[in-house]
Structure formats: C-alpha cells, structure tokens
Structure 1
Amino acid sequence: MTFQSRTTLGRVSAYLRARMALQGSGLRVAPFTLTFDTASAEPSRNYATPDDGATPDAAALSALVTAFKRRQRTPRLEYIGELAPAVLPFLLTEGFAAEQPLSLMTCTRDTLAGDGDLAGVEWQLAECEADLRAAAHVQNLAFGVAETTPADVERLVRVVGQGGAVALARASGSRETLGAGLYSPPLGGVAEIAAIGVHAEARGRGVGRAMAALLAEHALVQGIELPFLMTARENEDRVYARAGFSRFGELVAMMR
C-alpha cells in the first residue's frame, strides 16, 4: 500500500466513523463505533466499525452483539479491511460470515469524464420536499423497495440540510423522474456519493454513470476534496471507471 493510498483510506475511515458519531442513535463499544437506524432494521443501516488497527477480543465482541440484540438488529460490521487486518480472521472464528466486499473509488476534476448531455435527460438539484419525495421514490424502486415512507424523505431532508446534495435525472418534456443520487454532508473535506438509483426503464443509457460524475463535480466545486463512492460488483467498477473514478481500497462487511 502506498503512502498516498493509505492516507486516502485513513481519511475515508475517519469520515465514516465521524458520520456515525453524528447520528443520534450512535454508540461507542470500544474498539467499535455502532450506529442504529430507529426507523429501519435493514442491515445496511445498522452496523459497527472498528477503530483503525483494532484487535478486538471476545469480551468486546460480546458487548457489541448484545447492543445489537437489545435493539432487535442483526450484528453487522463495515470497515476498511486494509486498516484493521486483525478483525476479519477474528470475526470468522466467532461465527461471522463475509459479505461481498465493496470497492472504494474516487476521482479528481482532472479525471472526471462524465457526459451530462444525455439525449432526453435533464438534471437538477433537489430544491423542495416534492423533489426529495420524487428522489426517494425512484431510489426505492431502483433498489426493489415498493413503498416510500416519510422516513425515507426525511433522510434526504437531513442530507440537504446538513450540506450534502440530492440530484435528479428527469425526462425532458414529461419531467418524469428517471433516477436520483446524492452526496452526503461533508466532514473533513470528505463526502460519499451514494444511493444512485435509476428507474428500470431508463437503464442502459448512462444515467447512473453521468449522475455519479455530476455529483462528484458539484462536490469538488463546493470545496470537497475527496468525493468517493462504493460499488458492489465488478461491472459497476467498470461503469464508474468510465466516468473517471479509480479504485483505492475495499470495504469489508461481516454479519452473523
């Protein structure tokens, strides 16, 4: 690992823990930071992250599992594997199973190669609750969630209210929402591009790739130094690489 890549990983790791600490339902169980979503039991919204260089023992893990069970949540961890190499083998011996790792990717203004001039597509930043409701709805549809709840909209309200941004892709003329995405409120010059969802009928047109590039460009213009995103599959890596993103690390996820 180069010094530059380790520095980038360290900044992202610090950002992820700081974001968890700012959430009202966060909890510290050394050497872990835990976050819980009181409105959703979805595992991706309820997880723990170890400190960089952590070497947890059975007592610490037992306290972590107890905290999850008290809240009727599934014990789950997300963290940058390169920065806490002792955690994975320990969790495997304690009955945790590894999920598909996520690639971490970033870009600069010089590498961005997104094309926002897609035929029949208009772009906008969400400016009102109706925009945020439309964004939440298309994101949920894209990820297989049929119902959009007030809590979904409120999450996006918080994103915008705390300095992040939500963007929409809309069909020219009809204004039908084709896709949406966001970047999270920045902390320490770092922000995550996330929740990029494209309506099934609009896929294959480059909407997701262009959305990521436009969000990254907007973040960089706003002074965010390190926009990054996570991808779950190799084909997603290739899609975002064409937009100017490059891989710099991996996020490990473990669940029991």
Structure 2
Amino acid sequence: MSLLNEVDDYLHAAPLSGATPEEVGPFTLFRSTSPWPYYARPRPGAERTIEAADLETLRKRCTELDLPLNLEWVVETCPSLSAAAAAAGLEVTEHPLLVLEQANFKPATADANCTILPAVESVLQEARAVANVAFGDPGTAVGRGGIEDRDAKAAEISPEMLKFLLDRAQAGYSVTAGAATADGLVASGVHQPVGKASEIVGVATLPAMRRQGFGAAVTSCLAEHAFAMGITLLLLSAESDAVAAVYERIGFRRIGHAGAAEVPDGE
C-alpha cells in the first residue's frame, strides 16, 4: 500500500469517533454526532471517476438531512473530484499534505513552556479559545488578537462544546499541546490518533504572538508525544505554502495535496 493510500485510509477512519457514516454513491457521508459538522469523502480504493451525477446525488442527500455540502479528500488518490466539484459550482481548494518520519524529526523549541495539556475542562477551554482567536485571523503574519481576545473567546465556548472536548480527550481521541508564557496559553494544537496513525490539526498561535516559533514548538511537542505512543504515520495538511514551510523546518515533507470543496458563501 502506498503512503498516500495509508493517509487516505486514516482520514476516512478519523471522523468515525464523531460521526455516523452513510454510503451515498461513491462517497461516505459522515453524519456528525458532535457539536460541529463533518463532510463527505470518496471511499478509499474505489478507483472510480467522480461525475457530476455523483455530486448531485450527494447534494440531494445533504439537503434531505439538512447538512452542509462539504467534501474532503486526498487529491492524488481521487484526481477526478477537483474538476467535478468545481463544475458542480463548489469552491475547491487544495492544501499541501505532509508527513513526518521519526528519523527526520527535528525538534523545535521556543521561549515558552510547551507541554501536553491535561484533560481538564478549564485547560482545554483556554486551548480552544487560542484556536478560535487565531483562525479568525488566519495566516502567519503578526496580528492584533492577544490575551484579552483569548479570554473573551473562552467565555463564549458553550458547555456542550466543553463537554465534547473533554470527552474526546478522556477517550484518547485527541491529545492537546500548548505553549504557555506568564500570561497563559499563547499557542495550541491537537493530534488525533487512530491505531498507528495520527494527524496534527488545529495548530494555532494568538496573532499578536506570531513569528516567535510557538507554532513549531507546539507541533514538535505533539510529534514527540505521537512517536512516544507508537505512532508510525504522522500527517498534517497546511493552510498554505508559508504554513507548510514552518512544518518542513521540523522535518515534515510534502507528499501530495488535501482537497476540500464547499458551497461558496452567499449561496
């Protein structure tokens, strides 16, 4: 099995901890059982050319279930989907897909305390708030979102979301790391193990604290934990080439592209 196929299999298994799968044509539609929506993916190994009719069938089923029409996939294992999704009027993006072998790992540090965080509600709340601030101002440039914004976002997180985050952490579905200064967490990230594979997701730094190596240090902390628990396939997708370059500095290498498609805003 090729490395891309291994990645594809992991990405198909990972949503099962928070969603119920339903087969719709060549797709698996993951019907969320969590506070956030999931998506559909082409079934691994199907080796089928995706056509407009397949997407129309999926669209109708999403409408019946009152679900958003979102897709995610590995571009190289389903090369027909990007064009078919664009032709169906969806907004298609492709992001760098990277993996890290333990032999290539180059640990990174920063002027902060980077640790795996305990499964404690208040700690996970703060880590989630860091991500909420950061993803409201994406990219790698220094911005204005800082400690006060983190604390305001933390107060907005619902009890339902906090319970979900805590349950996932306690069940071992997610492992969170954080970088802390005297003002508390300034960066956070998660890895999501399934068997011997895991994906690093949601690495985020408060915009006002960027360009200080916190994101790389959090990623490094997550990688160390993953390898220590026996993970043999560690992957992530990067928002852009600039973000991918941060991960490449600690040993990640590009192997392909992660595709995503959704209905454009306003439709």
TM-score, normalized by length of structure 1? 0.85
Spell out, residue by residue over 1:8-63, the C-alpha distance to the aligned partner (whole angstroms, 9 max, x if none).
1111111111123343343221310112446667xxx4321012323344553333
* Corresponding position of 1:109: 102
Question: CA offset at residue 175 of structure 1?
Answer: 4.9
Partner SS for 1:11:
helix
Q: Do structure 1's residue 177 and structure 2's residue 185 form an aligned pair? A: yes
* Corresponding position of 1:46: 38
* Corresponding position of 1:226: 233
In structure 2, distance between residues paired with 1:251 and 1:86: 13
* Corresponding position of 1:82: 76
Partner SS for 1:33:
strand
In structure 2, distance between residues paired with 1:108 and 1:84: 24
* Corresponding position of 2:178: 168
In structure 1, distance between residues paired with 2:160 and 2:20: 15
Partner SS for 1:110:
helix
Please, which moves more after superposition, 57-66 or 82-91? 57-66
Q: What residue identity is the alignment partner of 1:61? A: L
Tell me if the contact between 1:54 and 1:87 (Cα under 8 Å) persists in the aligned partners.
Answer: no
Q: Do structure 1's residue 24 and structure 2's residue 32 form an aligned pair? A: no
Alignment of 1:1-256 (within 5 A): 7-37=2-32, 45-52=37-44, 53-99=47-93, 101-116=94-109, 118-119=110-111, 121-127=112-118, 128-144=120-136, 146=153, 147-163=156-172, 164-171=174-181, 174-187=182-195, 189-256=196-263
Q: What residue identity is the alignment partner of 2:179? A: A
Partner SS for 2:2:
helix
- Judged with a 3 Å threshold, the aligned counterparts in structure 2 of structure 1 residues 76 and 126 are, in CA distance, closer, same or farther, namely same
* Corresponding position of 1:3: none
In structure 1, distance between residues paired with 2:221 and 2:61: 39
- Judged with a 3 Å threshold, the aligned counterparts in structure 2 of structure 1 residues 46 and 24 are, in CA distance, closer, same or farther, namely closer
Partner SS for 2:231:
coil
How many residues align structurally?
242
Tell me if the contact between 1:169 and 1:207 (Cα under 8 Å) persists in the aligned partners.
Answer: yes
Q: What residue identity is the alignment partner of 1:130? A: S
In structure 2, distance between residues paired with 1:96 and 1:230: 20
Question: CA offset at residue 112 of structure 1?
Answer: 1.6
- Judged with a 3 Å threshold, the aligned counterparts in structure 2 of structure 1 residues 91 and 137 are, in CA distance, closer, same or farther, namely closer
Question: CA offset at residue 218 of structure 1?
Answer: 1.0
Spell out, residue by residue over 1:68-116, the C-alpha distance to the aligned partner (whole angstroms, 9 max, x if none).
22343331211011111222333333333322x1111111222222322
In structure 2, distance between residues paired with 1:152 and 1:184: 17
Partner SS for 2:259:
strand
- Judged with a 3 Å threshold, the aligned counterparts in structure 2 of structure 1 residues 97 and 129 are, in CA distance, closer, same or farther, namely closer
Tell me if the contact between 1:32 and 1:50 (Cα under 8 Å) persists in the aligned partners.
Answer: yes
Unaligned runs of 5+ in 1: 1-5
Q: What residue identity is the alignment partner of 1:113? A: K
Partner SS for 1:184:
strand
Tell me if the contact between 1:20 and 1:33 (Cα under 8 Å) persists in the aligned partners.
Answer: no
Percent of matched pairs sharing the same residue: 26
Tell me if the contact between 2:114 and 2:217 (Cα under 8 Å) persists in the aligned partners.
Answer: no
In structure 2, distance between residues paired with 1:132 and 1:241: 27
- Judged with a 3 Å threshold, the aligned counterparts in structure 2 of structure 1 residues 12 and 221 are, in CA distance, closer, same or farther, namely same
Tell me if the contact between 1:162 and 1:185 (Cα under 8 Å) persists in the aligned partners.
Answer: no
